[in-house]
Structure 1
Amino acid sequence: MAMNRRTRRHLQRQGEMTADGTPAGRRERRQAPAASPTTERAGPAQFVGEVRSELKKVIWPTRSELVNYSIVVFITIVILTAMIAGFDWILGEAVLRLFDVN
């Protein structure tokens, strides 16, 4: 296999090729350490307590922000639905005229 100097040096740095250009022997891969079985699971009461403490950290929107966001989402849905329906109708009419079904 012909390879340039850069590739040969790269393979040597990775340990896949010796200095004289012959392939290096295969290295054995190390196994990842297994998860320690000493970790205990949290009980239901501790879980609920942690969930409540995390929910207290959340910055909840005010009523006016929630109303504004809801209106924006609703208007966006209406506009996108109208666009998709319009494209569907236009393409449907184009296909019907193309095949002279009308």
Structure 2
Amino acid sequence: MAMNRRTRRHLQRQGEMTADGAPASRRERRQPASASPTTERSGPAQFVGEVRSELKKVIWPTRAEIVNYSIVVFITIVILTAIIAGLDWILGEGVLRLFDVN
């Protein structure tokens, strides 16, 4: 296999080639997590307990933040609705004039 100096050095750094250019012995590859033996399943009570403990770690937004976010979303919806309605009206009028329906 012909390779340049840069490729050879890269393979040596990765441990796939020895200093003399011979292929390094293959290391054992770890099995993917899905191929590992299955562990015992937890019960519903343990699952709910773990979910509650994870939810305690969540940083919940304050009431003021929720109000601010809601206002921003409402204003954005109003603006986008106005833009779409305006474009619909303009394009509708254009098509009607194009076909001389008015």
**Hey, what does 1:71 align to over in structure 2?**
71
Q: Which 5+ residue runs of structure 2 have no aligned equivalent? A: 8-30
Instruction: Show the 5 A alignment for 1:16-31.
Output: none
**Would the alpha carbon gap of residues 37 and 98 (structure 1) be closer, same or farther in structure 2, given more than 3 Å must change?**
same
**Hey, what does 2:48 align to over in structure 1?**
48
Q: Which 5+ residue runs of structure 1 have no aligned equivalent? A: 1-7, 14-31
Q: Work out whether 1:80 is the aligned partner of 2:80.
A: yes
Alignment coverage as a number of residue pairs: 75
TM-score by length of 2: 0.62
What's the CA shift string for 1:38-69, capped at 9, x where partnerless?
Answer: 32222211111111111111111111111111
Structure 1 runs of 4+ aligned residues shifted over 3 Å read none
TM-score by length of 1: 0.62
**Hey, what does 2:16 align to over in structure 1?**
none
